[in-house]
Structure 1
Amino acid sequence: MTTVGEELVLALRDRGVEVVFGIPGVHTIELYRGLAESGIRHVTPRHEQGAGFMADGYARVCGKPGVCFVITGPGLTNTITPMAQARADSVPMLIVSSVNRLASLGKGLGHLHELPDQHGLAASVAVSARQVLAPAALHDTIDDLWRSTTEARPGPSHLEVPIDLLEALHEAPARAVAAPRPQKSRDGALVEQAARHLGAADRPVILAGGGAKRAEEALRGVAEALDAPVIQTVNARGLMHRHPLIVPASPSLRPVRDLIAGADAVLAVGTELGPTEYDIYATGEMAPMTGLVRIDICPDQLSRVDARISIAADAAAGLDGLIEFLPADRTRLDRGGSERAADARQAAWSGLEPDMRMAVDILETLRQGVPGAIIVGDSAQPVYAGNLYYDHDRPGGWFNAATGYGALGYAIPAAIGAALAAPEEPVICLTGDGGAQFSIAELMTARDEDLPIIFLVWNNHGYLEIEKAMRAAEVSVVGCDPTPPEFAAIARACRIPYQACTATPADLARTLSELRASGDGPVMIEIDAR
C-alpha cells in the first residue's frame, strides 16, 4: 500500500514525466518518499522561481509539461511569476505544492507558511488549479489537470495537496492513465471556405505565431501554395530558415506593418495578435488585416479578435486542411510573394538603429559559431534586437521573456531546463548583467548537472534600455546603474570556465571557438558592451 505522496509520484511517472524541478522542504517530504525509486530525475534549483523557469524552458523544448515540486506558502508564491510567464506564452507546466493541514485551511491560525487562500492565489494565474481533499480523488484530479495543461491551449496548472493527505494511505486500486480526449476535428466546410478565400487573393500574407513552431512542413506548404510572405512573431522564429518567403522581423516594425496592411487576405496561425508582438511601440493601433483568417487551438482566443473566418484547430492540422483545398499545380503561381518578403526584410533591416544592427550581427555570429543552437534570452539589448529582426536556424530554438509577460531573470534557469530537455543539443543563454543578477545562483545548478550551456552575459553596466526610455520621456534617470558583480569571480566560484571579449563579431567568434574546446560542461562569456 502506498501513501498519497507516493501515488502522486507514480501517477506523474506513468504520464511520461522524466524530470521534476524542486527544493525539498518539511512540507513536501512525503512527495519525496517514492521519488528516488520512481526513476524520475530530480533537479534542485537555488530558488523556486528558478524551478518554475527551468520547467518553462524544459517544456518549450520537448513539448511535455515541465513539473515542479514546491512547498506551502513561499514555495508556491515564488513560482507565481514563472506561471504567469508560461500562461502568457502558452507553455505547459504543472506546479505541485503542499498546503497546510486540511482542517486548518482558511482559519488564519498562524501555521508555518500559511496564506489566507493559497489555492485562490494560484487559481488567479493558472489555467487550472485543483485541490486534493481526499485520497480517493487523487487520480481524477491529476487527470483533469493533465488535460487542462496539455490539451487545447497549453498553460500552467497547479495541484495542491494538504500535508496530512500527502502522508495518508492511498487505498484505491491502481488504475490506468486516462486516455487523452480526442481533439475536435476541424470544420471541413470552414477550411474549404478559407482555402478558397486565400487562394483568390492577389497579395496574401501569413502571420505565424508560437502555436505554429511544430508545424514547419505544413506552414511551408501553405506559404508556397499561396506564394505568401510569412511574418514571424518571436516564438515562431527559426521556422523556414532562409526561405525566400520568410520575414523574420517584428510585425510592429513599420515596413512589416505596411506589408500586412497591403495584403488583401491575411492568414494568422497560432498567434494571439497581442500588443507585445504587434504594437510594441504602444501606438494603440495594429496594422489593418483585410480578409483575416485565423487558425488557433483555443476557441476563447479566436473570439477575442474579429475575423472573416475562424478555425479552431491545432496549427498543423489546420494548415494540412488548407493544403487539401489549394491548387495542386503551383508551378505557374506568381503573386510576387518572394519580392514582397524581400522588400519587407530589407526595409525592416534598414530601419533598425545602428546599435540594434550591431547586436543582430552578434546573434549571426552565435548562429554561425554554434549551428542549430537553442538560444534562450532575457530582457537584454541583443535579445531586443533579435526580437526585432533575426532569422534563427532551428524551429523553437529562439525564445525569451522579453515579450509576453516580460519577466526578468528568466534566461539562466530556462536555459537549464532547455538543456535537460535536449541533452544532445547546444544551448546558449543570452542575458544582460541586470537580468543575470536576478537568478545568478542557478549557475550552480548548471554546474551540478554538468550541462553544456554557453552563458553569455551582455554587460553594459546597468539597465541601458530603461535609461533610454526614461531619457526619451524626459524623466531624470534614477536607479538604472546597479553595479554588476565581477562575473569572472562568479564563474570561478561556480567552477565554470570563463572568458571575456569585446562586442565585435570577430572577437566573439574566436572566444566561442576557444571555450567550446574547453570541455562539455557550462562555460561563461562576458561581453563588454559599454
Structure 2
Amino acid sequence: MPHRAELSTGEALVGLLEDYGVDTIFGIPGVHNVEMYRALPRSRIRHVLVRHEQGAGFMADGYARATGKPGVCFTITGPGLTNILTPLGQAWSDSSNVLVISSALDIRDSAQGRGRLHEMIDQHGAAKAVTALNFRCYTPKDVRDAVAAAFAHFASGRPRPVYIEVPLDLLKEPAGDGWTARALPKRPSPNAEQIAAAITKLNAAKTPLIILGGGALEASTAALAIAEKLKAPIITTTAGKGAVPETHPLCLGQVMAREGFWTLAAQSDAILCAGSELSETDHWNDAMAIERNLIRIDLDPAVMARPHTAEIAILGDARESLELISRGIKDRKGPDKASFDMGEPDALRAMLTEVLGVIRKELPEDTVICSDMTQIAYAANEVFPVSVPRTWLHPVGFGTLGFGLPVGIGAKFGVGDRPVAVLIGDYGIQYTVNELGTAAEHKLPIVILMWNNNALGEIRDDMVRKGIQPNAVTLMNPDYQMLARAYGLNAEQPKDLKALAVAIRAALKAEGPTLIEMTPRMVHG
C-alpha cells in the first residue's frame, strides 16, 4: 500500500468502530465502498464476506440478538442499500441494534439524475423508513458524530437499527483529528414514585400477572423474585422467550395467542408488563386491548400510550425497574405453580410437538435457536421450552421468510463455542439458501433443521380455513441432500424420530454445518 501521510475518512471510520468495541462486520466490498475496506486488514475487526446484502443484515441482527451487542454491516450505494432494507425492517420491528454503514454517490452528484452507477433519488430517505436514527454525512466531523450518536442510542435507548451513509468523495477525504470513542450514556433510571406505586398495587393484588417481552431478557433474576413472592404466573411474548426459564412452575410460556390469555388478563387486578409492545404479533387479536390494572415498564415512551392503557407507566430499563420493585414485594402464601389450558392440539400441532420434543431433548439448553416463518416454528413458539435468555430468535414483527439461516450464522459468530441451531422450512430456506456457502466457508458447526412438507403449508391451510381453493402453494423443491453437499455441508434425511436424534447428536460434533431434512414421514412412517 502506498504511503499515506494522513488517514482517509474511510480508514478512520474503521478505527473508530474498533474503539467502540466492534469486533465483527458483515458485508460485501464493491467499487463504491472499497475505501471502507482499506484499513480493515490492519484492524482487529473480523470481516465476514456474505453472499447477499440481505444476508449481511440478518447476520448482524443475529449477532446482536444473541450477544446483546450491536451488529454492524458495510454495504454499497443503490442495490446494496435496497437489498439490506428487509433485514433493517425486521430489526426495526423486533427491537434489534443493527448498524448499517453505506456508501453514497459523491456529494456533487447526489440525486441529480445524471445516470451515475447505483443512483437513487433519495437513498437516505429509503433507509429512514426502517431506522431509528439515520444520517447523511458531508464532512469527516459528520461521520464521527453519526457513529457517536449510533452507539449512544445502542447504549441507552430502545434497541433499533441505525443507518449512516457516507458519500464516495467524503470517504477519500483526509480524516483530521478527533477519531476516538466518546463516553456513552446509560439507560434512564425509573421514577421512584412510580416504582413505589407499582409496589403498592402489586402487594394489594389478589390475582397478579406478569408479562415479559424482549426488553426484559436481562431481568430474569428480578422477574422471578417478584413472581415467587407474589405467586404470580409469568407469560412471555415470543421475543421474551427465555427471559425466565419456561420450565419454572410459575412460567406459562408464550400463550398470548390462546383465547384463555384475555380471560386471564381480564381476571387480573395487577398486570406487570416489562419490555413489550403487546402488539398484534404477540397475541394475534388486534380487536382487544388491556384497559385497566396495567403497569408498564419500557424504554420507549410511545409504547406507554398505545394501544393499551397503562395505569402506571414507568420509563426505564426493565432490569433496574424490576430489581427496585422486587425489593418492596412482600412474600405471600399461595400455589407455587401456575396452570393454563392450552386446549387440545390438532393433528398437525400434535405431530410437530412430537418432533420438537426430540429436538429439545437433543439440543443443549444454551443452544441459540434461530427460527423462521414456518409451521414448525409457530408451534415451537408455544410448546418449545426455552430456559436461557437470547436463545430463541424469531422474526416476530416483520415476519420475514429466510430469516433463520443468516441469523443463525450471525449468532454463531457472536457466541463462539456455544451451539447454534436453525429451524426453517423448505420454502423459507430458499430465500437465503446462498448463505449456506458462508456457513460452509467458515466451517461453522450449525445444526440446520429444515422442515420439508413440499408446500407453503401455513398459507395452504389458511386458504382452506378461509374457503379459498388452495393455489400457488405447492412447489418443486431441489434435492436438498445434493444441494447441501454441493455447498460442502453434511446432510442427513432421518427416516424416523430415533434417527433424527442420532442426526442431531452427530451434527453437534461435526466440523462444519449440517443440514437435517425433516419430513412428516419421520412421524407417520
TM range (shorter): over 0.9
CA-CA distance at 1:289 after TM superposition: 5.6
Match of 1:464 in 2: 457
The worse-fitting range, judged by mean Cα deviation, of 196-205 and 359-368 is 359-368
Which residue identity does 1:408 align to in structure 2? L
Which of 515, 524, 530 is the aligned partner of 2:515?
A: 524
CA contact (8 A) 1:49 1:79 kept: yes
Q: Does 1:433 align with 2:438?
A: no
Aligned partner of 2:384 in structure 1 is 390
Structure 2 counterpart of 1:298: 300
Superposed structure 1 runs of 4+ greater than 3 Å apart: 514-517
SS in 2 for 1:520: coil
The one of 484, 498, 501 equivalent to 1:509 is 501
Q: Deviations over 1:441-492 (max 9, x none)?
A: 1001001111110011100001011001111111122211121111001111
For residue 145 of structure 2, what is the amino acid of its counterpart?
Answer: D
Q: CA deviation at 1:337?
A: 5.6
Aligned to 1:277: 282
Asked if residue 311 in structure 1 is aligned to residue 314 in structure 2, the reply is yes
Q: Percent of counterpart pairs with the same letter?
A: 36
Map of 1:208 onto structure 2: 212
Amino acid aligned to 1:259: L
Amino acid of the structure 1 residue aligned with 2:378: Y
CA distance in 2, matches of 1:512, 1:492: 17
Does the CA-based 8 Å contact 1:19-1:42 persist in structure 2?
yes
Q: How does 1:362-401 map to 2 (within 5 A)?
A: 362-372=355-365, 373-401=367-395
8 Å CA contact 2:189–2:321 kept in 1: the answer is no
2:410 to 399, 405, 417: 417
1:100-115, aligned counterparts within 5 Å? 100-115=105-120
Contact preservation (8 Å) 1:268, 1:293: yes
1:322 and 2:325 aligned? yes
Distance 2:345 2:392 in 1: 20
Amino acid paired to 1:452? P
For structure 2, list consecutive stretches of 5 or more residues without a partner in the other structure.
1-5
Taking the aligned partners of 1:59 and 1:106, their CA distance within structure 2 comes to 33
1:43 to 48, 60, 63: 48
Q: Which residue of 2 aligns with 1:334?
A: 333
1:521 is matched by which residue type in structure 2?
G
Q: In the alignment, is the contact (CA less than 8 A) between 1:56 and 1:417 conserved in 2?
A: yes
| SS of equivalent residue, structure 2 residue 229 | helix
2:155 and 2:453 map into 1 onto residues whose CA distance is 40
TM-score, structure 2 normalization: 0.95
Q: How does 1:231-270 map to 2 (within 5 A)?
A: 231-238=235-242, 239-270=244-275
Q: Secondary structure at the match of 1:236?
A: coil
What letter corresponds to residue 92 of structure 1 in structure 2? N
Instruction: Give the one of 444, 450, 454 matched to 2:437.
Output: 444
Native 8 Å contact 2:360 2:384 kept in 1: no
Give the conservation status (yes or no) of the 8 Å contact 1:377–1:430: yes
Pairwise CA distance, 1:137 = 2.4
Structure 1 stretch displaced more, 185-194 or 351-360: 351-360
Confirm or deny: 8 A CA contact 1:5 1:31 kept in the other structure. yes
In 2, are the aligned partners of 1:21 and 1:68 still within 8 Å (CA)?
yes
Q: How many residues align?
A: 513
Question: Which residue in 2 is equivalent to 1:6?
Answer: 11
SS at match of 2:389: coil
CA contact (8 A) 1:214 1:396 kept: no
Match of 2:348 among 335, 352, 355: 355
2:333 maps to amino acid:
D
* SS at structure 1 position matched to 2:143: helix
Counterpart code for 2:183: A
**Alignment pair present for 1:151 and 2:152:** no
Distance 1:356 1:249 in 2: 15
TM-score scaled to structure 1, two decimals? 0.94
Amino acid aligned to 1:520: E
For residue 175 of structure 1, report the CA deviation from its aligned partner: 4.6
Hey, what does 2:63 align to over in structure 1? 58
- C-alpha contact 2:155 2:185 (8 A) present in aligned 1: no
1:203–1:337 contact (8 Å) kept in structure 2 = no
SS state at 1:199 partner: helix
Structure 1 contact 456–524 (Cα < 8 Å) conserved: yes
Name the amino acid aligned to 1:208: L
CA, structure 1 residues 9+529, in 2 after alignment: closer, same or farther (shift >3 Å)? Answer: same
Aligned partners of 1:249 and 1:256 also within 8 Å: no
